[in-house]
Amino acid sequence: MDLHVADHPLIAHKLTVLRDRSTDSARFRTLTDELVTLLAYEATRKIRIAPATITTPVAETTGTALDSPRPLVVPILRAGLGMLEGMLRILPTAEVGFLGMVRDDETFEVHAYAERLPADLTGRQVFVLDPMLATGGTLAMAIDFLLARGVSDVTAICLVSAPEGVEAITEKYEGVAQVTVHTAALDERLNEHGYIVPGLGDAGDRLYGVV
């Protein structure tokens, strides 16, 4: 697994405000959106391209177009939804699939409650959006859904990651699939409730309020 931890002062600043418990939901949503766009810039560095011939007002020239098939963006509901607009801002022609997953508070087991993905994803580049890479259970289940549909190249964008989750994903997909994670921060650890420390709390609750 390839791990990229962002190293940019604007990302560090925005993440610090995001983490602050006094940041309200409206500001949290705006910061999430901005952070995803910044992370997406690097995360799309290996996006597949093809030459494209166009005519400027002055001359014909060969430039660059995104190759087909179009990339697929998959936010993991609920919290990943807060990352979708920030991603589509930089990749407006991407197709969007959805996965709904919830983690049991006691056992940390992940349960999928919704899936809306194209049946055949062979050869597609896929970007999974999930703000918190904690135990890795949610991301692993999402990757398994994608591998079952023929994907071999998955990039996850996570705002905050825990070493435990990074290790779990690295071990599980070593020699199985090309998995890349772009994150704004690699935090210290998970606590006994499965929350990332120092983290930012429950990303879904902070984006949308407590259900």
Chain contacts with ligand URA (rule: CB under 6 A): 79, 132, 134, 194-196, 199, 202-204
Active-site residue flag, 205: yes
DSSP 129-166: E-SEESSSHHHHHHHHHHHTTT--EEEEEEEEE-HHHH
**Residue 127 beta carbon to ligand URA: minimum distance, rounded to whole angstroms:** 19
Helices (H), the chain: 9-19, 25-43, 84-90, 137-147, 163-173, 203-208
Is the Cβ of residue 40 or residue 203 nearer to ligand URA in the bound state?
Answer: 203
- Catalytic residue, chosen from 70, 103, 153, 170, is 103
Cβ closest to ligand URA, residue 154 vs residue 158: 158
Q: Which residues pair with 182 in a beta bridge?
A: 4, 157
Rounded least distance, CB 106 to ligand URA, Å: 14
Q: Is residue 136 within 8 Å of residue 165, measured between CB atoms?
A: yes
Q: Which residue has the tokens 């994608």?
A: 146
C-beta closer to ligand URA: residue 86 or 194: 194
Provide the minimum distance between the beta carbon of 50 and ligand URA in the complex, in angstroms, as a whole number: 38
Residue among 55, 62, 64, 107 flagged as catalytic: 107
The smaller minimum CB distance to ligand URA, of residues 104 and 120, is found at 104
* Residue 24 appears among annotated catalytic residues: no
Q: How far is the CB of 154 from ligand URA (least distance, A)?
A: 19
Helix (H, G, I), strand (E, B) or coil at 47: coil
Of the candidates 186, 198, 130, which has an alpha carbon nearest to the alpha carbon of residue 162? 186
Residue 202 is among the residues annotated as catalytic for this protein? yes
Catalytic (active-site) positions: 103, 107, 202, 205
